[in-house]
Structure 1
């Protein structure tokens, strides 16, 4: 979304989670205070961004291009306690555990460099979509799935859900 002035209308009454410094700062400028914001204090890995968390800050370490399980656990705790997360390393992929930890009906916002803001309505199907992405990752995917209450030995979708999922996300 290039014109973010519509965000206050699109997000009216929704609980908001943001990932990224610029996205969080812009939401605050628009009067939107996220329940949880995940940031690293800089944009494009060099320019510093000043943010003040209203309810405290948890700290996490997450290497670029990865989702560290410990960082995912910190994100989950932050969502449950309405706190923010300052990341040492890179926060981008922590949008996935943020989405999986959030309640259906909430909204997740994250920045897409040189494109704008991505708005994801959190629901059963967006969670399943991101779980399918997680299954493609290297590392201990099973432990990650268990952390977010998904049994790695069970199919994620039922037959009816699978048909609807295919309609919503045909590229997977």
Structure 2
């Protein structure tokens, strides 16, 4: 398991991609791409806009309170444990499996906030990874070599336990 040290948590408050105020604003950027969503609200908003994500990673919460908008997707469901502030091997294995066999929903018992990092690393070039930026909107990261390098750099900050 990898744990994000408390001293480095502020580094992860900056968007890891382009921040949009709403999903509707970024819809044209999703055309023809695999769409991967991290978070219940982002997934819900994509579905409301008519976009079914190829992979959704959800935990049933938004901003640490139960989310009544957890989406019901007709896709293979993988369930993993991932405590807050961590990236477990179980989560990364599920992400790898989901990328190989889409569509899929990964339901996280714990917290999915940091899943965007291994998701970008596992995603094919050209995929669109979206996640919520609390109280600001939605972040879109198009996967390319630079995105993978930045994700690997972010992952290097974590401590193996």
Which residue in the other structure is 1:145 paired with? none
Which residue in the other structure is 1:25 paired with? 44
Three-state SS of the structure 2 residue aligned to 1:127 is: helix
Q: Which runs of 5+ in 2 are unaligned?
A: 1-19
C-alpha RMSD over aligned residues:
1.2
Which residue in the other structure is 1:124 paired with? 145
Which residue in the other structure is 2:5 paired with? none
Contact 2:37–2:57, Cα closer than 8 Å, also in 1: yes
Structure with more strand by fraction: 2
Q: Which runs of 5+ in 1 are unaligned?
A: 141-172
Counterparts of residues 142-157 of structure 1 (less than 5 Å): none
Which is greater in Rg? 1
Which residue in the other structure is 1:65 paired with? 85
Three-state SS of the structure 1 residue aligned to 2:72 is: coil
| Distance in structure 2 (CA, Å) of the matches to 1:50 and 1:93 | 18
TM-score of the pair, normalised by structure 1:
0.78
Structure 1 runs (4+) deviating above 3 angstroms are none
1:102 maps to 2:123:
yes
1:47 maps to 2:70:
no
Contact 2:82–2:88, Cα closer than 8 Å, also in 1: yes
1:81 maps to 2:86:
no
Q: CA deviation at 1:26?
A: 0.2
Three-state SS of the structure 2 residue aligned to 1:120 is: strand
| Distance in structure 2 (CA, Å) of the matches to 1:53 and 1:3 | 21
Three-state SS of the structure 2 residue aligned to 1:86 is: strand
Q: For this pair of structures, how many residues does the alignment match?
A: 140
Which residue in the other structure is 2:23 paired with? 4
Larger relative CO (CA 8 A, sep 6+): 1 or 2?
2
| Distance in structure 1 (CA, Å) of the matches to 2:122 and 2:22 | 28
| Distance in structure 2 (CA, Å) of the matches to 1:126 and 1:23 | 20
Which residue in the other structure is 1:14 paired with? 33
Which residue in the other structure is 1:169 paired with? none
Three-state SS of the structure 2 residue aligned to 1:50 is: coil
| Distance in structure 2 (CA, Å) of the matches to 1:58 and 1:109 | 19
1:56 maps to 2:83:
no
